[in-house]
Amino acid sequence: MRKNSGIKVTLKAASTLDGKIATASGRSKWITGEAARLKVHELRHENDAVLVGINTVLADDPELTVRGIPEGRSPVRIVLDSRARIPKQSRVFQKDGVPVVIVTGSQAPSRTWPELAELTILTAPTKTPEVLWVLSEMSKLGLKSLLVEGGSLIHASFLRSNSADQLALFLAPKVIGGQKSLSWCGSLAIDSVDEAPQLDITSVTALGEDWLISAKIK
C-alpha cells in the first residue's frame, strides 16, 4: 500500500508505438513533435517540481525549464544522482533563479558543487535514494506536485513503490524495435500479467501527429 506523502505524482514519458524512448545507441531526439513537446512544458508549468535520474542528465542534458508558455513558471529541478556524477556544466545548474535539488546516495564520494544560491544537496540514508524517502523530503520542502520525466529506471522505481498517481504517455507514430533499445519503463519484476499495474485511461488527445494518453494508476 502506498504511503501518503501528500504529493501528487505524474509519470511522463514520450515513446514510439512499441514503447521505446531511445535507440540502442541511446539517441532519443526527437521522438515526438513540437505540439507534444509544448504540452510537456505545460505539464512542467502545472507542477511544483520536475524529477529525472542521472542517466537522463548524462544522455540529454535537459534544462527542465518551462518555455513557450505565456507567464510560464519553471518547477524546482530534482535530479536523483546516487554517486554524485552530475557534471558541473550541466544545464540544470544554469543561474536562472530556479531551485535545483540533487539527491545523492549514502556512499556518494565527496565533491565540489557549482556555486549556485538555489542549490540544495540531499544525502539519502541508503546507497540508492528510495522513492518514499525522496517524496518525504520533497514534502518537507513544501512541494505538492511532481512531474517525473524519467528515465526508464526512475519510472519503474515509482511504480514498484506504488508512488505514482497518474501517467502522461506521449505516443509517436514510429517504431524503433529491437531488444536493446530502451523502453519507457524498466523492470517491474512481474512474473504474470495479473501482477501488472492497472491503469484507467481518462483521455486520449491528438497533438499534431502524436497522441497523449492520460491515465490514472490504480
Residue 1 lies in a domain: no
CATH at 72: 3.40.430.10
The residue-averaged pLDDT of 142-167 equals 95
Residue 2 lies in a domain: no
Residue 114 lies in a domain: yes
Which pLDDT tens digit goes with each residue over 179-196?
Answer: 888 899 988 888 899 888
The residue-averaged pLDDT of 44-71 equals 94
Residue 206 lies in a domain: yes
Total domains, the chain: 1
Q: What's the chain's average pLDDT?
A: 93
- Which among 153, 205, 197, 169 is positioned nearest to 16, based on CA atoms? 169
Residue 3 lies in a domain: no
Task: Decide if pLDDT at 1 tops 60.
Answer: no
Residue 66 lies in a domain: yes
Task: Decide if pLDDT at 24 tops 90.
Answer: no
The domain of 98 spans 8-217
